[in-house]
Structure 1
Amino acid sequence: MNLIYNVVFFLSLALHASAQVPSNCDAPSSYPHTQIEDMYMKPKKGIFSNGEKVRYRCAEGYTPNSGSRIIKCQNGKWTQLTMTCEKKNCGSAGELFNGYFHYMGSLLGDKTYAVCNEGFTLKGMEYRICKDSGWSGEIPTCEEGGEPQVVPVEVTCPAPSVANSVKLSETGSVYRVRDSVTLACSEGFLLTGAQQLTCGPDGQWQPELPLCLPSNDIIESPKPNGRCGVPPYLSNTHLSDCCRAQADFSPGHQVRYSCALGYRRVRGAHYSTCVSGRWTPVTLRCERKSCGSAGEMSFGHFVYTGVEFGDTATGVCDEGYQLVGQDVRNCMNDGWDGRVPVCEAVQCAKLPEVVNGEINGRLEPPYVYSTVIGYRCRVGKLIGTSELYCTKDGTWSAPPPECKDITCPYPRVQYARRTGGIRMPLEFGDSVTFVCSRGMVMNGPGTVTCSLDGTWTPALPTCQYQQ
C-alpha cells in the first residue's frame, strides 16, 4: 500500500513540474511592410524560448509610424506587434528655377514632373521618382528660349465625364497638361469630390473625378461637399512644401504662395482659400529682382542684357586695354556674382638697340599703349621710321630704324654746274641739282639722289651742244 502511495505521489509531482515548464514559440509571424532583424533569426532555427524577444524593422521604402518594434514569446505565443509602417515621404523635390514641380504624390513610388514657365526649355530629366534614398536623379534646369517644352509626347487628358454634371469652364476640345475644368452638378444633384480638375502630366485628371449624386442619397449618406482640388498655378511662384503633394483640400483650407528664387513680391496677398469648392483668386504678383549697376570699370564699361534676375553684364575694355578677371557677371538672387574686372593697359615688348643710334630722351619700360619712342643716329644716316608707337594690339607700329654710314662719290658732270647739294660729304638721301652751260642741252634728269648702295639715282646726266 505504501509503495502504491509513493508511486502516485512522485507521478503527481512530475506532472505538476511539467505543467510549470513554459512552452517554446515557433517562428514569429510576418506583418505588412516589416522585416525581422537578421540577428534574431539566424541562430534560432525557428525555435524561441519563453521570454525571448524579436525586433522588427520597417521594410525598404517604409518608415515607422507608431507602436513598439518588439514582440515577446509568452507561454508558447507571441505578443502582438504594435508598430505600423507607412510609405516613406520624400517631401519636396527641390526648387526649379523658372518652373515648378507638379506632384503626383510624394510617397514611395510616386512621381513629380518638372514643368518650365512659358518661354523656358527643360534641360534634364522631366520627372523624378520617390525612392528609399529620396527623389531620384538631379534637379533639372529651365533655360530661357529654345524649343517649347514637350510634356511626355503631347500629353492630353480625356474629356472629364461626370454623370449629371455641367462644365462651368471650357478650354476647348483638347485638354492639355495644366488645363483646368470647373464642374457643377445638375439641379437635384450634389457634388461629392473636387469641383476643379487639372490635367496632370500623366494624362489623368487631378484629383480624381467627382460624383454628382441625388440630393436624397447625400442626405441619407453624408459625404464631403465643397472640397477643392490642386491649387491653381501662378507664374514665378511656388506653393509651400506642406501643400505640394496634396490634391484634395477641405473647405476653409488656406495655401500659401511665395515668390520663386530670384523674384520679389510687388503686390497682392500670399494666401488662397478653399471656398465652396473653388480657390479664391491669387492676387500675389512677383517680378524679377533687380541687381542694379554691376559696378564701374576704369578704362572700360559693362554691356548689359538687362539688370534683373537671370541677366548678364559683360565687361568690355577701352581700346588699348585688356581685361583681367572674369568678364561676365550674372544677376543672381543676392545680386551680381563675382567681382568687377580690371582693364590694364596693353604693353609692348622692349625694342632692340639700334647700332650707332639712340632713343630721344630717357624712357624706361614698361612701354604701354600709345607710348611713342623717337630715334636718332650718332653715326650715319637714319634708315626707316624715326618715331614708333605702341599699338592697341601690343605691337610696335613699325620695325626699329637703322643707322648707316652711306656716302656717294663726288658727282662730276662735264659742262655743268651744281645749284644745290654743295655740302660734303654727300650721304644717303642727299640730292644734287645740275644746270648745263649756256648753249648746251641736258640729257637725263637734272637732280640725282644718293641711294642706299652708295650710287647716284638716277644716273648722272650729260650736257651736249645744241645742234
Structure 2
Amino acid sequence: MRTVGQNILLLSCALFASAQLGKKCSAPLKYPTTTLDPKFISMQSFNSGDKVFYRCEEDFTRSGGSSSVSCEDGKWSKLTLKCEKQTCGNAGDLPNGHFVYERETYIGERVYARCNKGYVVKGTGFMTCKKSGWSGEFPSCVERDGVPSPVETTCSTPSVDNSVQNGGDVVVRRVGDSLSFTCRQGFQLDGAMQITCGPDGQWQPRPPRCLPSPVKTEAPRSTDGGCGAPEPVKVSHVNLVDRFAAMKEFSSGDKVYYACDVGYVAAGGSRIRRCSNGIWTKLTLKCERKLCGHAGEIKNGRFMYSGIEFGDTATAKCNEGFQIIGKATRNCLANGWDGRVPVCEAVVCPEPKVTNAIRRDVQEPPYTYRTAIRYECHVGTLVGPYEIWCTKNGTWSSSPPACREIGCPPPNVDHAYWMGAHKKMHEPMETISIECSRGYAMRGPNSISCSREGKWLPRLPQCVPYRSNWRRG
C-alpha cells in the first residue's frame, strides 16, 4: 500500500509532466529576407517538438544555415537560415568608357555608363539587374564631334599606406560611393574606418592613416608588482572605459574595464583585464554589430535589406501601381532603425478628358491603377479605343475616343442619275443603283455601297457616249 507521501509525490510528478506537455508556442517569429512556408502562416499554436520551415524571399537565394525552427518548451529555436540577394555580376566592358555600379549588382539595381572625355552615351545609358541578368539596351560611347562631355564630379581613390582597402580597385569614385579600410598587421588605424565621396569631390571625412602599432614592452613594475597603463588591444570595436584612459599606474590586483563601440554589443568573453604581478591579463571581450531586426511591415510593398545589423540599410519598394510616400531608406543605427516606415500609396489617374462618347460603366473617382473605363456611341461611329485604363505611371493608356458621323457624299457621276433620296450624306451600308443617261454607256459597277470608312465601294462608275464606246469597241 502506498503511503500518503508517495501519492503526493506521484501527483506532483504527473502535474509537472502535464505542465511540460502543455507548454505550446505561439505563431513563429518573423525574420528579414525570409518568409514562412505558406502552410504554417495561418497556424497560431504549436505543440512542443513541432517544426516549421522558412524560405528565402523573392530575389534572395539560400546561402547556408537550416531552414527550420523547433518549438522547445514554449519557445522557438533561433533560425539560422542565411539568404543572400541575387546578383547580376559584372556587366562587361564598355569601349571608350566604363560602367559605374549603383551598389552591389542586386536585382532591381542599375549600372550606369560613363564615357571618356570627348564621348557621349548612345542609348538609355543604363541597364537594370533582373532575374534573367542585365536587362536593357547595352549602351555605347560615341564621339561627340570634338566637344568634350560634361564632367561628372568624382573622387580619386586615396592611397593609404599599409592599409587594405575594401571596395574594389576602381581609380575614381562617384558621389555617394564609400570605401572602408583596415590596416595591415603591425599597424593601427588613425581616423575613420569608412569614408564617402562628397558632392565637392572630396572624401568625407578625410582618409585615415595606418600608423605603426606601439612596440610592446613590459609594463613597468613597482615594488608591489603593479602595472603601468594597459597597452592597446587588437580586439575590433573595443575601447578602454574613459575613467581608466588617463591613469598611468595600477597596483597588482587592480581591474580595468572595456566597452564596445557605439553600435556594437558584447558577444562573449569578459570585459575585464587585471593587473597581475606587473602584467595585464589578456582581454577576451568580443563585440558584434548590434541587430536592428525587422524594419517594419509595408502594406502594398516591402523592404529590401542590405542586412539587419548596425550600418546596414533597408530600402522600401512598392508593388506595381503604388508609389512611395516618405523617406524610402532606413538606416540601422545604435538605437535601432531611424525614421519611420514609409507608405505605399496607390497611383491615381486624373479625370479623363471630356469627349462626346458615352461611358458604358459609370466609374466614380479616384481612378486607381488598372481602373478601366469603356465608351460607346448612341449616334455616329466610335473613333479610338473603346476602353482606356489607368497605368502604373498614373496616366491613361490612351486618350478617350470620340463619336463621329461618318458617311459618303452624293455619288455624282456625269451623265448619270439614280433613283431614291438625294441627301447631303449617305449612311454607311447604304446601297445605290446608278443608271446612265440616254446615249451613254456605263463603265464600272452600276450598284455601289457606302462603307464604314465613308467611301463608295467598289468604286464610282463612268458614263461614256455610245459613239465613243463603239469606236473603242
Q: How high is the TM-score relative to the length of structure 1?
A: 0.47
Q: How high is the TM-score relative to the length of structure 2?
A: 0.47
> Which is higher, the Rg of structure 1 or of structure 2?
1
